[in-house]
Amino acid sequence: MVPGTDQDGVNGPRFHGWNGRRSAAAHLAILAIICAAFPVVTASPAAASSPAGVVTEFSSGITASSGVMIPTAGPDGNVWFSEQWGNNVGRITPSGTVTEFSIGTMVLGITTGADGNLWFTSPNATTISRITPSGVVTPYQAGLTSGSAPTFITAGPDGNLWFVEYQSGYVGRINPSTGTITEFSSGITPGIHPGSITSGPDGNLWFTELDANTIGRITPSGVVTEFSAGITGGSMPQVIAAGNDGNLWFTETGTNNIAKITTSGVVTEYAVPTNASQPMAITRGPDGNMWFTEGAADKIGMITPSGSITEYSSGITSGAQPFGITAGPDGEMWFAEYGGARMARITSGDPAGVSLNLAHWSVSNNATSATGVSSTYEIDTETAATIATVTMTVPAGTAGTPTVVTNYGIGAGTVGLAANTLTYTVTSPTWVASRTPILIEIGGLTNTSTPAAFTSDITTIDANPLTIDGPTTTNSITFGDTNTVITVVVAKSLTFTNDTSSFILLMDPALSALADETKDVTLTVRTNASSGYTLQANDTAAGLNTGTDTVARFSNGQTGHAAWGGTVDKYGYKITPTISGTAALTGAMAGGDYAGYSNTPETLVSRTDPTGNTPDQLVVTNRVKIDYAQDAGTYGDTLTYTVTPSY
């Protein structure tokens, strides 16, 4: 058994005995053998062109036998890490220079907060602490249950820090501004020993339950849901992280699997090729894949969203016991070698973000030295991810006090100007799908005094912080001192009407006229949106229903469209359009067929240009046909029509 583990027969670190159960003498002896037999690789900066899997180990400046455990990307462009037995917080630059900050007690979990500081846990001291990038430490304990042993910690979607308590089984939250701590226990199975916690793409927190073979979800308000279906017994889910595919990924140390769970709780497990490798930590890489450590095999693994696994071992010293892993600010993966008291870097093979699908820049006034200028940035995302910040370069000499005027396609946020770069910070980052149009308008700027042509480089970044897409260069704008600028602002306008708020069909199978009835709903759309609009519809029930009986859908959505024919005891719709320009019915409905509604919004019509003064009009014919097989009763459903303009 590896020194520092719980007495559970599982080799490798399981929070490495934060309760003090380890043999220091044995640990030091093993370390001495490792260092004698396997010299540490000389540190050197990573090359951006390096292929995936090139490992560099760093030991200089790290206290021997310190139990290097969890790394995290810092706000200062460095990687920070915890030293469990060294009682230190460490910082390592991309070139390998290490600085240690003495804490005086065990340090386990560590993460970067939205306040620009690092936050870490001390399970033996039952404290949550903040450390600034310059090394100033402030501990917080009030509100924590005595002996609760806080372990893993993460930045939450609400701007707070969230953590799990190994001994109490609670989930905790700390406000970075006030230090106020709140604990949550309701809904969590007692005695589960939570393993780790992360922010999910759905705006909630997700955590592992080691001894219950369960994954937990907790909303920012503290409502807990537990998921166990699909998780193999004895799996010991350990570390969980959000993926680039909109799912959560976690390690199953006990069953040697990597697993994926959707935000609705559907689990898929993937076996790690190396037997008994003990996958420990996992995180998202800049290449869009998940990277994980194999504590007992001295390997680093990479798994694609489809479940294909690649393992890397070359350059990793035997007995290294890799544990924590993070994507570094340099675009490479960094991991902690618990057994060797080292930090290590492994190239991801894709340190740079891909280009945005669209990047456009415009200004309200291009005269040099003009004041009160607004800059508008339009992008289409390429990579699906949770965007935390968007950076936009500006010409040298740009000044002023920037303010957010408008934001579309991305959450509300704040903006700052520093080093010729505008940084838009999303207040509550959420998942953004690929090819999502985003517009950010920044006001309050003063133009450069230099007459010349300039472009802007736009980059989207996640909370790690890692580049998602970009930098992508925009169009060029010429700033001059002889311009007369005229600005005409045309308001965005959309008119959407539905002439029927509700209707009742009185039906009787004994009379043919009352056994097959229709009702038309007329929808009218008029907009000056430059790229048109999309009109969608969905219902709330699976057909018309009474609560105990149902008039079934004609089909489950548009994929089952067909002529009505002799269909009875069904409920469906067809569309008769009066449209022009680029407007078009969805292909499934263009031929006058009927279809059933779906709970998921489906497109009825879309267009790619403004409607002009003549609105588009759709007549949606709702049809219900019954016979004596349909029970008597009052059946109901609610239809929702949604128009989304594209400006």
Instruction: For residue 445, give the CATH number of its domain.
Output: 2.60.40.2230
For residues 609 and 567, is the Cβ–Cβ distance under 8 A?
Answer: no
Residue ending a domain, choose from 479, 502, 526: 479
Residue ending a domain, choose from 432, 454, 479: 479
511 lies in the same domain as 421: no
499 lies in the same domain as 594: yes
Q: Is residue 4 included in any domain, yes or no?
A: no
298 lies in the same domain as 181: yes
Tell me, what's the pLDDT at 1?
A: 26
368 lies in the same domain as 456: yes
Q: Is residue 9 included in any domain, yes or no?
A: no
- Name the least confident of 375-384, 510-519, 542-551, 599-608: 375-384
Q: CA-CA distance, 439 to 457, in Å (whole number)?
A: 15
The total number of structural domains that make up the chain: 3
Looking at the DSSP bridge assignments, the partners of residue 342 are 337
Q: Is residue 2 included in any domain, yes or no?
A: no
- Name the least confident of 291-305, 320-334, 612-626: 320-334
Q: State which amino acid sits at residue 545.
A: N
pLDDT at 389 exceeding the cut of 80: yes
pLDDT at 41 exceeding the cut of 50: no
90 lies in the same domain as 142: yes
Both tokens assigned to 442: 């920044």
Q: Are strands 55-58 and 68-73 parallel, antiparallel or unpaired?
A: unpaired
CATH code of residue 200: 2.130.10.10
Site of tokens 């310190």 = 66
Q: How far is CA 338 from CA 215, 493, 515, 516, in A?
A: 26, 59, 74, 73
342 lies in the same domain as 376: no
Tell me, what's the pLDDT at 485?
A: 67
**pLDDT one-digit tens code per residue, 64-93:** 999 999 999 988 889 999 999 999 999 999
Q: How far is CA 263 from CA 171, 215, 225, 239, 434, in A?
A: 19, 11, 11, 16, 18
Q: Domain range for residue 375?
A: 358-479
pLDDT at 226 exceeding the cut of 60: yes
378 lies in the same domain as 455: yes
Percent of the chain's residues with pLDDT above 70: 90
Report which of residues 43 and 420 the model is more confident about. 420
396 lies in the same domain as 315: no
Q: Which residues are CB-neighbours of 174 under 8 A, at least 6 positions away?
A: 119, 128, 140, 160, 161, 163, 180, 181, 182
212 lies in the same domain as 276: yes
Q: 34-48, 146-160, 462-476: which has the highest mean pLDDT?
A: 146-160
**pLDDT one-digit tens code per residue, 572-625:** 999 999 998 899 998 889 989 999 999 999 999 999 999 999 999 999 999 999
Residue ending a domain, choose from 346, 373, 392: 346
pTM above 0.85, yes or no: no
452 lies in the same domain as 537: no
181 lies in the same domain as 238: yes
Q: Is residue 468 included in any domain, yes or no?
A: yes
CATH code of residue 625: 2.60.40
Q: Is residue 10 included in any domain, yes or no?
A: no
Check residue 17 and report its DSSP letter: G
Q: Is residue 228 included in any domain, yes or no?
A: yes
